[in-house]
């Protein structure tokens, strides 16, 4: 990795998200797709509007019919990991300034609300199915990130469970009873679920391969994730108990950060098979893979056309 500010910042973003690191060849990237509840939009974060050498990452939405892309977040913030509210009227995301990262909410009227405000890292927000709470990863009160809950307005933050390793990417099950997340186990990220009421922790994956960023199917029977068990990052689908792993992306390039469509028929993900990281969509069985984004063909040092 180049020892410049741009690539150091990019590496920090990748560590926060627990995704494959951004390489110098991936000058432009689109990450973390998230379907809107009505299935009409995909939110994602990207540096596609960056005009200088300093990293500028914003949250965007993509209209799946018109293919129009609209920026949502403040360009002054490094904005990451969008998550739609269940009614589709708001998007939560994490925003980084320096070494600090907090959770924000962007409402339909265009207003932005800062939900957390503290030194350290609050990242990877996800809405509960009833829209009343947000789960997020936080290092408050610990040497590593654990899973926390707060009300949708940012009030009453509390740690859900004390964890032995660094945890990321909490995702609510469709019935609201469990959270899936990934956690370091002997320096390898593995998938877990925790019962929100009983706090019972269940490990879903094991072994030498990393298993990261689970997303529930709408019926709660399966999880999509990315893993390097085949020597490169691939999208796999597993049963909710961790069994029956199937490689659905099946490509030599890196494929990561899966997001199920609301009807369960499709999965959005990013891939670098075209050079820059682009958002793709495929059928849930891996067929009919289609690119959704096309990144500007320019380098960050260049000004945008026009």
Contact 235, 203 (CB under 8 A): no
Condensed to tens digits (0 to 9), the pLDDT of residues 91-142 reads 999 998 878 899 999 998 888 899 999 998 999 999 999 999 999 999 998 8
pLDDT at 236 over 90: yes
Among candidate residues 145, 136, 34, 143, the one with its CA nearest the CA of residue 95:
136
pLDDT at 212 over 70: yes
Rounded percentage of the chain residues whose pLDDT exceeds 70: 87
Q: Are 85 and 131 in contact (CB under 8 A)?
A: yes
Name the burial class of residue 26, with classes exposed (0-12), middle (13-18) and buried (19+) by CB atoms within 10 angstroms of its CB.
Answer: middle
Q: Is the pLDDT of residue 22 over 80?
A: no
Q: Can you give the pTM of this predicted structure?
A: 0.89
- Is residue 19 helix, strand or coil? coil
Q: Which CATH superfamily is domain 26-291 in?
A: TolB, C-terminal domain (2.120.10.30)
Instruction: Take residue 48 and report the two structure tokens written for it.
Output: 């596609």
């Amino acid at each position: 990795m180049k020892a410049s500010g741009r690539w150091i910042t990019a590496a920090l973003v990748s560590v926060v998200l627990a995704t494959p690191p951004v390489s110098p060849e991936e000058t432009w990237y689109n990450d973390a797709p998230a379907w809107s509840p009505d299935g009409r939009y995909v939110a994602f974060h990207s540096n596609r509007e960056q005009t200088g050498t300093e990293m500028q990452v914003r949250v965007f939405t993509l209209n799946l019919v018109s293919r129009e892309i609209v920026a949502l977040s403040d360009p002054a913030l490094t904005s990451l990991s969008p998550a739609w509210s269940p009614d589709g009227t708001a998007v939560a995301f994490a925003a980084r300034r320096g070494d600090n990262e907090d959770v924000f909410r962007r409402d339909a009227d265009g207003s932005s609300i800062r939900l957390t405000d503290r030194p350290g890292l609050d990242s990877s927000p996800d809405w509960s199915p009833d829209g009343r709470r947000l789960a997020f990863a936080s290092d408050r009160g610990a040497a590593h990130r654990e899973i926390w809950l707060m009300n949708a307005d940012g009030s009453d933050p509390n740690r859900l469970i004390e964890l032995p390793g660094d945890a990321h990417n909490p995702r609510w099950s469709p019935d609201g009873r469990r959270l899936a997340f990934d956690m370091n186990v002997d320096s390898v990220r593995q998938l877990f679920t925790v019962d929100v009421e009983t706090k019972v922790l269940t490990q879903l994956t094991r072994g030498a391969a990393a298993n990261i960023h689970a997303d529930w199917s709408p019926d709660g029977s399966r999880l999509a994730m990315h893993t390097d068990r085949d020597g490169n990052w691939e999208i796999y689908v597993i049963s909710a108990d961790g069994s029956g792993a199937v490689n659905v992306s099946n490509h030599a390039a890196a494929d990561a950060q899966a997001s199920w469509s609301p009807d369960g028929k499709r999965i959005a993900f990013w891939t670098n098979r075209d050079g820059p990281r682009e958002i793709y969509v495929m059928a849930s069985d891996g067929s009919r893979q289609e690119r959704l984004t096309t990144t500007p063909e320019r380098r960050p040092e260049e000004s945008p056309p026009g």
